[in-house]
Structure formats: structure tokens, C-alpha cells
Amino acid sequence: MAYFDAASAAPLHPVARQALLASLDEGWADPARLYREGRRARLLLDAAREAAAEAVGCRADELVFTPSGTRAVHSGVAGALAGRRRVGRHLIVSAVEHFSVLHAAEELERDGGTVTQVPVDRAGAVDAGAFAAALGDDTALACLQSANHEVGTEQPVAQVAEACRAAGVPLLVDAAQSLGWGKVQADWSLLTASAHKWGGPSGVGLLAVRKGVRFAPQGAADERESGRAPGFENLPAIVAAAASLRAVRAEAAQEAARLRELTERIRARVPGLVPDVEVVGDAVRRLPGIVTFSCLYVDGETLLHELDRAGFSVSSGSSCTSSTLTPSHVLKAMGVLTEGNVRVSLPPGTPAEDVERFLEVLPGAVAAVRERLGAPAAAESAPQTGADLVVDAIGRRCPIPVIELAKVIGDVPVGGTVRVLSDDEAARLDIPAWCEMRGQEYVGEEREERGTAYLVRRIT
């Protein structure tokens, strides 16, 4: 089985396993106690903090360990907002942040604060100028990920940090996806990360708060981890997390070059192997191991099952793989095709042979799903009939509305329109994306009693 979902959780690094097993014997005692076992545990905790702080690029007394990356984000956002309450209650985030950041923003709004979401371009990157323009006198905190978790696009963190510094606003950087590859090269104020993203054990997050940043920990007071992460430390997991972070950093430069070549191979060859595919995310400014593409006329969940049966574990941002039946907020913010979405995220050590086998299997898997759904062939056309057609796809989920559109576009003459009726949120993204890929004109949408009508004019 080839595991291609490292952006969700990387396999446990061998160094993490060794450190975890060793510290189970040596680090089980309370590091706050003064007897021998407690002192031994404290030495392990201090050494782990020093190692993690060196990897992050901060002082050891600026970093605390949390029970997860999500907890690190929530604690960081809440503490920074509380510390700057006198300034205001305005928070700035990008539209493609991890849900942990967006949920923290929603919590602020429910409590009466205001949130500005800075949009991204079609590659998934924010514009540093637009981010700077959102800063105001009442802005208490800004949040920006170092790189996106779904498409791998790197963000202009250094430029945004410079603008925040000039405005006197602290910047929280979610470095969960990038920290294993290197330090965040920017003048950030707060930083969060999660060990299971770089091959450490799950249940360990990092929160770094620079000295001088106004910060007021929220919740009941606790003497552990500077009061910012209450509860008994999971010392074996913390030691394993710090050890594995140091290990992956030592391998990062060489492994990044190798994985970048493999993902570039996927980016370059998939459009030639599979018709009607859109590769998404920035082609240059991206993480080494992530590549994402979307396939027209494909049910994402069915495609994932096909690839799983063929021996490949991948993930998807398609709405048809979600219980909410809404597409990924990242793909939605980018305005790209969402149906049949596949994210390949290669863990360190992935053999080139596995990538080649994936490229061999993918065309057949996509073709099988399309055939099952009755999708049109790439060059399929039909005799021209009337000037306008209506496709009723109410109650039918992705990718059926687009499939039905593709089947009938040839039935109208050049200049004629097809009106697609749909109540599927994904249609709002996928129909315009289909038009761009197929050279047709997306006219717009109109509200209908039973959903929305999406108008497409035939150009070619």
C-alpha cells in the first residue's frame, strides 16, 4: 500500500519511535517534582523544549507544548486577542486558513468581535498588499498560514509580517505544514505547529509567543507550561516530537529536492494521461511533497475508493467526499474545479516506483468512475437543435450537474444557452470552472424557486 496522505498525518519517523520507547522508561514521572525521577523527567522536558525552540527559531522560554496543533491555534488566538483587548477586537485571517483558525475566528464573531477574511488568487495565495490594507487601528491580531494544507501553496509570510510589524499588529503563523521543512523566515509574533505533520506522534502541538507580545492566557490558571497549556505534560510524546523534528530537519534539504521532483512529475504528466483535469495550486511557490488536481465528471469519493483498491491512500476536497456536501473552503476560495479532487501528499522516503505506479493506475481509475457515472467522452458532440436548453439537476450532487451540462452543450448552436438548475453548492464553482476548461462562456446565475439556475452560452 502506498500512503500518499502525509499532509494529514505523516508516518511515525523511526527516530520518534525510538525516542518514544526510551522516554516511556525514563520520563514517566512528574517533571515538577524535586526527587530523582522528577528531576530526570524535567531534564528530558527541558532538552525537548530547547530542541524544538532551536527548530522553530525562538527562545526556549517562548515555546510551550500543547495537546495538539488545533489547541495551540485556539490558545494562541484567544490569548493574543485577550492581551490586546484595549486595542480592539478585529481579527484578520486568510480565506484558506486551516479550520482551527477559522473556527477561532467564528468564536470571536459570536462574542461580538469582527473578522476580515483576505481573499486568495486562483493559485491559493493572498496578496500581501491586500492583507496590509485590511489592517486597521482596531486590529488586535492577524493570522496567516506559512503554506496551505490542501494545495501546498506557500504564502508571502515575510511581506505580511513586515506590514503587520509596521502597523504594530502581532502576526500568528500556522506553520503546521512547513515546519518540518525549515524555519519560517519572517518576523512573526506567534507560531503554531503540530508534531504529527512532520512524523512525530499525535497529541503534541507547539505554541511560540515572542517576548514583548501582549498575551493573556485564557481559561483556568495552571502552573504548567507557563499557564498556556494546562495539564500534565505527555512527556514521552513531547520528547519523541522534538527528536523527530530535529531528525527530519537534518534530512530536509535532500528529501525536499527529491520529493519536489516527484510531485513535479505528477503535475506535468497527469494532464496528458487524464483528459479534462485541472492541476491546482502555485506551480513554483509550493511545498515539496504536495500536488493537487481535480478531474471533471468524477465523483471524488468513488475515485478515492478506486485508488484505495489499487493500493493508494490519497485525500480529496470534493464535496462528494464530505458529509456536509459542500466543497473544500480552500478550493472554493480559489475558485477552481472541486469535483474529482485528489490531493497527493508524499511522505519523506516515498519511492519513485510508487509514483510511477500511481501514474499508471490513475487513468484507468478515472475512466472507470466516469463510465459508471455516464460521463461524456472528451470529444463527444450532438446535432444542434434549439437555441436554448434547460437541464434539471435538482437533487443531484456533484459531478452530475456538470456531466449533464457537458452532454447537451452540443445540442445548442453557437450563441445558444444551456440553463442548468441545481441545488448543489459545488455547482457554483464547478460549472464556471468547466466553462473555462472547455472554452464556453459562463453567463451567471439566477435564483430559482427550487435552487439556482446557472447559465452557460456556447462559444465553440
Sort residue 241 into left (φ over 0), alpha (ψ -120 to 50) or beta.
alpha
Spatial CA neighbour of 373 closest among 450, 445, 292, 306: 306
Cis peptide before 31 (omega within 30 of 0): no
- Is-contact 382 408, C-beta < 8 A? yes
CA–CA gap between residue 301 and residue 369 (Å, rounded): 10
How many C-beta atoms surround the C-beta of residue 305 within 10 A? 14
354 to 195, 266, 371: CA distances (angstroms) = 25, 12, 26
CA–CA gap between residue 320 and residue 113 (Å, rounded): 33
Give the H or E element holding residue 16. Answer: helix 14-26
CA–CA gap between residue 262 and residue 355 (Å, rounded): 7
The verdict on whether 164 is a catalytic residue reads no
Residues 6+ apart with CB under 8 A from 147: 153, 154, 155, 177, 178, 286, 287
Active-site option among 143, 295, 320, 435: 320
Instruction: Name the phi and psi angles at 410, rounded to 5.
Output: -75, -10
Residues 6+ apart with CB under 8 A from 31: 38, 41, 42, 44, 45, 233, 235
Residues marked as catalytic: 320
